[in-house]
Chains A and B, each alone.
Chain A
Amino acid sequence: MVPTVFFLLQQTATDTPARGPIMGYIPIALLFAISLAIPVGALTVGRFFRRTVMTQEKMMPYECGVDPVGDARDRISVRYYIIAMLFLIFDVETIFLFPWAVVFDQLALFGLIEALIFIAILVVGYYYAWRKGALDWA
Chain B
Amino acid sequence: MVPLSWYLILSAALFAIGAVGVFVKNNIISTLLCLELMLNAANLAFVAFSIFQGTIEGQLFVILVMAVAAAEAGVGLAIVIALFRNRETLDVDESSLLKL
Contacts and interface: CB of A to CB of B under 8 A. Distances in A.
Direct contact of A and B (CB under 8 A): yes
Interface of A: 6, 8-13, 16, 78, 81-82, 84-86, 88-89, 91-93, 95-96, 98-99
A85 B78 contact: yes
Contact of A12 (B4, B66, B69): B4
9 contacts: A8-B8, A9-B5, A11-B3, A12-B3, A16-B1, A85-B73, A85-B77, A93-B67, A99-B60
B3 A89 contact: no
A89 B4 contact: no
B23 interface: no
Contacts of A95: 63, 66-67
A82 B52 contact: no
Contact of A92 (B3, B67, B77, B85): B67
A9 B3 contact: yes
Chain B contact surface mostly? helix
Contact of B74 (A6, A16, A85): A85
Nearest to A98: B63
Nearest to B60: A99
Contacts of B78: 85
A96 B62 CA distance: 11
Given A12-B3, A12-B4, A88 B52 contact: no
B92 interface: no
B51 interface: yes
A6 B9 CA distance: 10
A1 B92 CA distance: 49
B1 A84 contact: no
B71 interface: yes
B81 interface: yes
B70 interface: yes
Given A78-B85, A92-B66, A95-B66, A13 B74 contact: no
